Amino acid sequence: MEKVKMMHIGLSKGDIGRYVFLPGSPERAEKIAAYFDNPKEIAYNREYRTFIGELEGVKVAVTSTGIGGPSAAIAMEELYQCGADTMMRIGTCASTSEKVKTGDIVIPNGAVRMEGVGSHYLPTEFPAVPDYEMLKELEAAAQRLDMPYNIGVTITKASFYSQTAPNTKPVKEDIINSWNAYEAGGATSTSMECAPLFLVAASLGIRASSVLVSATDYKKYDNQDRKHPIGLEDRVIAVGIEAMKSVIRKDRLEVVNKND
């Protein structure tokens, strides 16, 4: 019987294992896969590019999700149907605090829901937070690799240019006032996928976390320096890989202990 392929990611049940990395760009998916043992590209449809391989002797995958919450939610839903239950976003972010400098690792412990996808999964008052055990492993990985890092609230926005050019928008007062409030509340970074990632995972009953690298200093975003984020990717990929290896080892030990 022919296996049924998912509509968007082009994968079928059994193509992947439990553990999946979720970068935004297809190019970053290839860079992450280079850290796997025996990497192999198995699908590429639209923004969704997937490689499989092994870490710690266990099957893992990486699937790019494109930019923003809607495409990330689609990927998560379909990856879940294919057997994934542990997902980690590896990406970039912008600093919204003096606490975060260019090149710093950012580990969100919650996300402001300045987006719309999450409301299709859980009520607005439900917090967007990552799996706590995965968060701890990410912090430990950053420490082991001697990376400067920040743990804090991230802002998930639905529109890139409403942040970078709010004065050009008819609703500029609302945008600016909200943004100022988030920063006053201590938010340290912003990107476009974390809140949906955490909320989709919560609704499915699976684990999800995020690790980012800041491509900017606070209020110093420069769109001309296009090579900046690319040069920092290896830092955040290394932390994510290190953390996922630890998650896999602990999962294996838990199974052994249950069987004893």
**CA-to-CA distance for 151 and 101, rounded, in angstroms?**
13
Phi-psi region of 57 (alpha: psi -120 to 50; beta: other; left: phi over 0): left
b/e per residue, 149-159, with b = 16+ CB within 10 A?
bbbbbbbbbbe
**What is residue 128's DSSP assignment?**
B
- Options 2.60.40.420, 3.30.390.50, 2.40.110.10, 3.40.50.1580; which CATH number does 19-259 get? 3.40.50.1580
Question: Would you give the distance in Å from CA 97 to the centre of its chain?
Answer: 20
Answer for the pair 112, 69: CB distance below 8 angstroms, yes or no.
no
b/e per residue, 170-203, with b = 16+ CB within 10 A?
eeeeebeebbeebbeeebbbbbbbbbbbbbbbbb
Say what the pLDDT of residue 22 is: 98
- Within a 10 A sphere around the Cβ of 225, how many other Cβ atoms? 12
Joined together, the tokens standing for residue 63 give: 């699937």
Say what the pLDDT of residue 3 is: 81
Q: Which of 87, 91, 90 is nearest to 16 (CA)?
A: 87
Say what the pLDDT of residue 231 is: 72
Answer for the pair 137, 252: CB distance below 8 angstroms, yes or no.
no
Q: Which of 16, 60, 20 is nearest to 38 (CA)?
A: 60
Say what the pLDDT of residue 86 is: 98
Query: What is the residue whose two structure tokens read 């294996």?
Result: 252
pTM: 0.94
**What is residue 228's DSSP assignment?**
H
Say what the pLDDT of residue 247 is: 98
Say what the pLDDT of residue 254 is: 86
Answer for the pair 97, 189: CB distance below 8 angstroms, yes or no.
yes
**CA-to-CA distance for 21 and 3, rounded, in angstroms?**
23
All structural domains of the chain with their residue ranges: 19-259
Local confidence pLDDT in tens for the 260 residues of the chain: 568 899 999 999 999 999 999 999 999 999 999 999 999 999 999 999 999 999 999 999 999 999 999 999 999 999 999 999 999 999 999 999 999 999 999 999 999 999 999 999 999 999 999 999 999 999 999 999 999 999 999 999 999 998 889 999 999 999 999 999 999 999 999 999 999 999 999 999 999 999 999 999 998 765 545 555 567 899 999 999 999 999 999 999 988 787 76
- 146 three-class SS: coil
Residue 216: exposure state from Cβ atoms within 10 A (0-12, 13-18, ≥19): buried
Say what the pLDDT of residue 169 is: 93
Q: Cα separations (Å) of 29 from 25, 249, 260?
A: 7, 23, 38
**CA-to-CA distance for 30 and 48, rounded, in angstroms?**
12
**Containing H/E element for 91?**
strand 86-95
